[in-house]
Structure 1
Amino acid sequence: MTDTRIFLSPPDVSDVERKLLLAAFDSNWVAPVGPDLDAFETQVAELVGVRHAVALASGTAALHLALVAAGVRRGDTVLVPSFTFAATANAVMYLGARPVFLDSTPQSWNVDPDLVAQELRARAGTGRLPRAVIAVDMYGQCADYQPLLDACDRYGVPLIEDAAEALGASYRGKPAGSFGLAGVLSFNGNKIITTGGGGMLLTDDRRVATTARHLATQAREPVAHYEHRVVGYNYRLSNLLAAVGRGQVQRLAEMIAARRQTARYYHEALGDLPGLTFMPVAPYGSPNWWLTSLLVDARKFGADRDQLLARLARHNIEARPAWKPMHLQPVFQDCVMRGGEVSADLFRRGLCLPSGSALTERDRERVVTAVREG
């Protein structure tokens, strides 16, 4: 095997980020406080169009604190899409609450708004409403927020937007991360932009931002000695990583354009193959094309999803199955699930192709050749 490995979604950093990182290092602002941290929060808040942003150690930490701010406590329930990464449900479990999993819609692969409305109506009838609802913007495409917000507002249940994969996407012209009580971003190494880890909580609610910032710094009270009245967490992002994030934000538009170009290339080069169906683009928004994903019909294509994954691996190309739904995960086997057929099928047939913003024309050609082989 002589070809270099093509990764699914590797970090894409440049001299812009390097210069900002070294400047932060030379300034000696290396702790989780400093001018780059403040500037990074301001940049992202302005980009998304929210009043407050709190930079944190991970997107999971942001989800955790958003749930705390929503009032989730031990014994509560939270409605969560089954088709998502485990972090969405893990954050609920951190608080001793229980996720209630809901199926996706095949039109967008996101949580089905009708199921959310039905579950809220049924639980309102028993006087046992969930404490919160989490929607996830799957693979960089926003969930359908208008019916979700209508349903949540009808019953007074806060909505939290897990936009970990969706920075730069939009729903009816409004940026991802700006919906509900709080939005959450991830800056993990494989995301649309990265700080080498990290995340951010976004909100228009000053109370939510103040709560998150306080809890993220070990809930230390503003007095000379170390005073703590509640349990806090060590969740703040470092100033050094924020400097990298500032550079990434400057390049966000070009990185989204590169991923969009890759998606267009795959659609044109593979769209004629029987048995391959790309993730639908919902008419209500614009995705950021974090990952180009498709479904494989083994009977029509001549190979199933796992055989195609193996074929790509033989060509030193990293691809991934679609998320395994939470209701099929052993750790959540005792949780309630509503529906499940759609998300189970997405997992069984779904595959994510290499989509990084630094992919070359040669990389894309190798991927297409491997998929078309045989």
Structure 2
Amino acid sequence: MSDTVHLSSPDIGPLEESYLVAALRSGWVAPVGPDLLAFERAVAERVGTGGAVAVNSGTAALHLALLGVGVGPGDVVIVPTLTFIATANAVRYIGARPVFVDCDPRTGNVDVDVVDELVRRLRSRGERVGAIIPVDMFGSCADYTRLTPVCAEAGIPLVEDAAEALGASHRGRPAGSFGRVGALSFNGNKIMTTSGGGMLVSDDTALLARARHLATQAREPTPHYEHRETGYNYRLSNLLAALGRAQLVRLDGMIARRRQLRDQYAKVFAPVPGVELVGAEDADSNCWLTVITVDEEQCGWRAADLAAHLATRSIETRPVWNPMHRQPVFAGAESLLTGAADRLFDHGLALPSGSALTEPQVGQVFGAIDDFLARRAVVGAA
């Protein structure tokens, strides 16, 4: 590992090592095994769904989830413009068409009023809307209290992209449990990791059984290899599931550590005019990433200025997701925009948030921020 302070590094320790060694010694090195099944049960219990299917990425989970709710070629799927590209790519895998919707500027999650307007617009044109995919941004759930009735009234399946939000909740209900099916990610930078991996979670046992079948190359239950349809090589390995089981044991502690960091950021930036934490009022977030927005007119500096300063101290930061409507691969795609995602991209900055940060690294980050703010105060006074 380099000396760079990273945004969200994997938090791995002795417990993970012990689970992996035990899995290796058990002989279950092949893709499916007891750790995989135990991991699925544990995640379903944590999320509060009837079952789960572990796969090799969050993108695979989204792909199978869309197939599971019946999205097909030519359908329209409503996707947040502020998201990682996997959300939109999964729609294209099926031959469906993503239509992008803007976000709430306070949280980065979908703007429910805009979603409602877009649903009415699409249906008035006779479009078949196969699904709506809200994304729980930066570890905070979307406003499902308002969004779920919009989906229900229109008869459109809700597929929850909870890739960033395991361990978060909305009004007491866990992230991943909203809608017909949810998709989780265990990528290396997520709140917990299996190196790479993902999972579908749902109460719909038929949907999960179908996903499990497709994820194992759609092999029929015969003594020989027989396949009646195209499947995918999507299953998570037993060894990586063992890693995930250990991470799940430690999840609450890792969330608490990230919350401590967010609270420290809130304290540091509280007296700075024009700087706000995105989603700061959400007490049920898992605090995956702490993101600030910077109003240059109020504070006299840009988010990019802070990023450049921190980079000189070997501290990684990152702009928020470049909105999908600005991506060349989706040039010309239909969107319903308010400008909120554009503003978050232009003025937002994600700060180091990982639970694996050591105390010296935390001191390095906040020392560098204090130095930046002090220098800017001097310039402003002059």
Q: How far apart are residue 301 of structure 1 and its match?
A: 2.7
Is 1:316 equivalent to 2:314 in the alignment?
Answer: yes
Deviations 1:29-74 (A, max 9, x none): 1111000000000000000100010000000000000001111111
Task: Give the superposed CA RMSD.
Answer: 1.3
Q: Measured at CA, do residues 270 and 281 of structure 1 come closer, stay the same or move farther in structure 2, by a change above 3 Å?
A: closer
Is 1:101 equivalent to 2:105 in the alignment?
Answer: no
Q: How far apart are residue 340 of structure 1 and its match?
A: 4.1
Q: Measured at CA, do residues 107 and 297 of structure 1 come closer, stay the same or move farther in structure 2, by a change above 3 Å?
A: closer
Q: Describe the SS at the equivalent of 2:262.
A: helix
Q: How far apart are residue 361 of structure 1 and its match?
A: 3.0
Match of 1:184 in 2: 183
Match of 1:160 in 2: 159
Which letter maps to 1:371?
I
Match of 1:199 in 2: 198
Q: Describe the SS at the equivalent of 2:159.
A: strand
Instruction: Give the structure-1-normalised TM-score.
Output: 0.97
User: In the alignment, is the contact (CA less than 8 A) between 2:140 and 2:279 conserved in 1?
Assistant: no
Match of 1:254 in 2: 253
Q: How does 1:139-288 map to 2 (within 5 A)?
A: 139-282=138-281, 286-288=284-286
Which letter maps to 1:330?
P
User: In the alignment, is the contact (CA less than 8 A) between 2:40 and 2:53 conserved in 1?
Assistant: yes
Which range is displaced more, 287-296 or 362-371? 362-371
Match of 1:65 in 2: 64
Q: How does 1:317-332 map to 2 (within 5 A)?
A: 317-332=315-330
Is 1:357 equivalent to 2:372 in the alignment?
Answer: no
- Of residues 291, 294, 300, the one that matches 1:293 is 291
Structure 1 CA distance for aligned equivalents of residues 78 and 281 of structure 2: 22
Deviations 1:301-357 (A, max 9, x none): 332122221111100001111111000111111210101400000000010000000
Q: Describe the SS at the equivalent of 1:110.
A: coil
User: In the alignment, is the contact (CA less than 8 A) between 1:120 and 1:129 conserved in 2?
Assistant: no
Q: How far apart are residue 175 of structure 1 and its match?
A: 0.3
Q: Describe the SS at the equivalent of 1:264.
A: helix
Give 5+ residue unaligned stretches, structure 1: none
Match of 1:111 in 2: 110
Which letter maps to 1:173?
G
Structure 1 CA distance for aligned equivalents of residues 310 and 105 of structure 2: 26
Which letter maps to 1:359?
L
Q: Describe the SS at the equivalent of 2:95.
A: coil
Q: How far apart are residue 107 of structure 1 and its match?
A: 2.9
Deviations 1:5-43 (A, max 9, x none): 111000001111101101101111111100000000000
Match of 2:367 in 1: 369
Structure 2 CA distance for aligned equivalents of residues 149 and 355 of structure 1: 30
Count of aligned pairs between the two proteins: 371
- Of residues 314, 330, 333, the one that matches 2:331 is 333
Q: Describe the SS at the equivalent of 2:52.
A: strand
Give 5+ residue unaligned stretches, structure 2: 376-382
Q: Describe the SS at the equivalent of 1:43.
A: helix
Q: How far apart are residue 215 of structure 1 and its match?
A: 0.3
Q: Describe the SS at the equivalent of 2:211.
A: helix
Which letter maps to 1:335?
A
Q: Measured at CA, do residues 273 and 347 of structure 1 come closer, stay the same or move farther in structure 2, by a change above 3 Å?
A: same
Structure 2 CA distance for aligned equivalents of residues 218 and 4 of structure 1: 42
Deviations 1:75-107 (A, max 9, x none): 111000000000100100111111000000123
User: In the alignment, is the contact (CA less than 8 A) between 2:134 and 2:142 conserved in 1?
Assistant: yes
Structure 2 CA distance for aligned equivalents of residues 332 and 125 of structure 1: 24
Q: Describe the SS at the equivalent of 2:91.
A: helix
Q: How far apart are residue 292 of structure 1 and its match?
A: 0.6
Structure 2 CA distance for aligned equivalents of residues 193 and 282 of structure 1: 23
Q: Report percent identity of matched pairs.
A: 54
Which consecutive aligned stretches of 4+ in structure 1 deviate over 4 angstroms post-superposition? none
Match of 2:121 in 1: 122
Structure 2 CA distance for aligned equivalents of residues 65 and 31 of structure 1: 22
Instruction: Give the structure-2-normalised TM-score.
Output: 0.95
Structure 1 CA distance for aligned equivalents of residues 297 and 46 of structure 2: 45
Q: Describe the SS at the equivalent of 1:136.
A: coil
